[in-house]
A and B are shown apart, each in its own frame.
Chain A
Amino acid sequence: MRAPGDGHGIMAGDVLLAVDGVSLSFGGVKAITDVSFDIRKGEIRAIIGPNGAGKTSMLNVINGFYHPQKGRITFKGEMRRRMRPYEAASQGIARTFQNVALFKGMSTIDNIMAGRTLKMHENFFWQCLRHGPAMREEVEHRRFVEEIIDFLEIQAIRKTPVGKLPYGLQKRVELGRALAMEPELLLLDEPMAGMNLEEKEDMSRFIVDVNNQYGTTIALIEHDIGVVMDLSDRVVVLEYGRKIADGSPAEVSSDQAVIDAYLGVPH
Chain B
Amino acid sequence: MFYREAGQFKTSYAADMAVFPIRQDRIGLAVILMIAFVGIPLFGNQFFLSSVMIPFLVFSLAAIGLNILTGYTGLISLGTAAFMGVGAYACYKLTTFFPDVNLIVWILASGFVSALVGVLFGLPSLRIKGFYLAVATLAAQFFLQWSFVRVPWLYNYNTSGAIEVPEHDLFGIPITGPNALPETRYLVLLTIVTVLTWFASNLIHGRIGRAWMAVRDMDIAAELMGIKLLDTKLLAFAVSSFYAGVAGACMVFLWYGSAEPEVFTINQSFLILFMVIIGGLGSLLGSFLGAALIYMLPIALRVLPASLGVPIAAATVEHLQFIIVGALIIFFLIVEPHGLARLWQTGKQKLRMWPFPY
Partners in one complex: yes
Using a CB–CB cutoff of 8 Å, the interface residues on chain A facing chain B are 63-65, 85-86, 88-90, 94-95, 97, 101-106, 110, 113-118, 120, 122, 124, 127-130, 134-135, 137-139, 142-143, 146, 177, 181
Residue of B nearest to A118 (CB): B226
**Which residues from A are CB-within-8-Å of B328?**
none
Q: A122-B207, A139-B13 are in contact. Are A86 and B213 (CB under 8 A)?
A: no
A-B residue pairs in contact (CB < 8 Å), sample of 14: A89-B224, A97-B221, A101-B221, A104-B217, A114-B211, A114-B213, A114-B214, A117-B225, A117-B227, A118-B226, A122-B207, A127-B203, A127-B207, A142-B13
Q: A113-B210, A134-B206 are in contact. Are A88 and B218 (CB under 8 A)?
A: no
**Which residues from B are CB-within-8-Å of A86?**
223, 226, 228
B85 within 8 A of A: no
B224 pairs with A88, CB closer than 8 A = yes
Q: How far apart sit A239 and B306, CA to CA, in the bound complex (Å)?
A: 78
B221 pairs with A139, CB closer than 8 A = no
Q: How far apart sit A90 and B221, CA to CA, in the bound complex (Å)?
A: 14
Q: Which of A64, A102, A118, A137 contacts B218 (CB 8 A)?
A: A102
A104 pairs with B17, CB closer than 8 A = no
Q: How far apart sit A89 and B224, CA to CA, in the bound complex (Å)?
A: 6
Convert B210-254 into 0s and 1s, putting 1 for each residue whose CB lies closer than 8 angstroms to a CB of A. 110110111011111111100000010000000000000000000
Q: A127-B207, A128-B202 are in contact. Are A105 and B224 (CB under 8 A)?
A: no
A127 pairs with B225, CB closer than 8 A = no
**Which residues from B are CB-within-8-Å of A90?**
226
B225 pairs with A181, CB closer than 8 A = yes
**Which residues from B are CB-within-8-Å of A113?**
210
A117 pairs with B211, CB closer than 8 A = yes
Q: Which of B12, B14, B206, B213 contacts A106 (CB 8 A)?
A: B213
Given A90-B226, A103-B217, 17 more A-B residue pairs with CB atoms under 8 Å apart are A65-B223, A85-B226, A86-B226, A95-B224, A103-B214, A103-B218, A104-B218, A114-B211, A117-B227, A118-B226, A122-B207, A124-B208, A129-B199, A130-B206, A135-B14, A137-B207, A138-B17
B226 pairs with A89, CB closer than 8 A = yes
Q: Which of A101, A117, A129, A135 contacts B210 (CB 8 A)?
A: A117
**Which residues from B are CB-within-8-Å of A134?**
202, 206
How many B residues have CB within 8 A of the partner chain? 29
Q: How far apart sit A115 and B217, CA to CA, in the bound complex (Å)?
A: 14
> 9 closest Cβ contacts across the A-B interface?
A89-B226, A130-B202, A103-B217, A101-B221, A118-B226, A128-B199, A142-B13, A120-B207, A114-B210
Using a CB–CB cutoff of 8 Å, the interface residues on chain B facing chain A are 12-14, 17, 199, 202-203, 205-208, 210-211, 213-214, 216-218, 220-228, 235, 282
**Which residues from B are CB-within-8-Å of A124?**
208, 235
**Which residues from B are CB-within-8-Å of A110?**
210, 213
Q: How far apart sit A88 and B217, CA to CA, in the bound complex (Å)?
A: 21
Report the minimum CB–CB distance from A56 to chain B (whole Å): 12
Q: How far apart sit A117 and B216, CA to CA, in the bound complex (Å)?
A: 15
Q: How far apart sit A89 and B227, CA to CA, in the bound complex (Å)?
A: 9
Give the one of B223, B225, B282 with max A CB within 10 A. B225
Report the minimum CB–CB distance from B111 to chain A (whole Å): 13
B210 pairs with A106, CB closer than 8 A = yes
A103 pairs with B13, CB closer than 8 A = no
Residue of A nearest to B195 (CB): A128
**Which residues from A are CB-within-8-Å of B205?**
130
A105 pairs with B206, CB closer than 8 A = no
Give the one of B12, B210, B211 with max A CB within 10 A. B210
**Which residues from B are CB-within-8-Å of A120?**
207
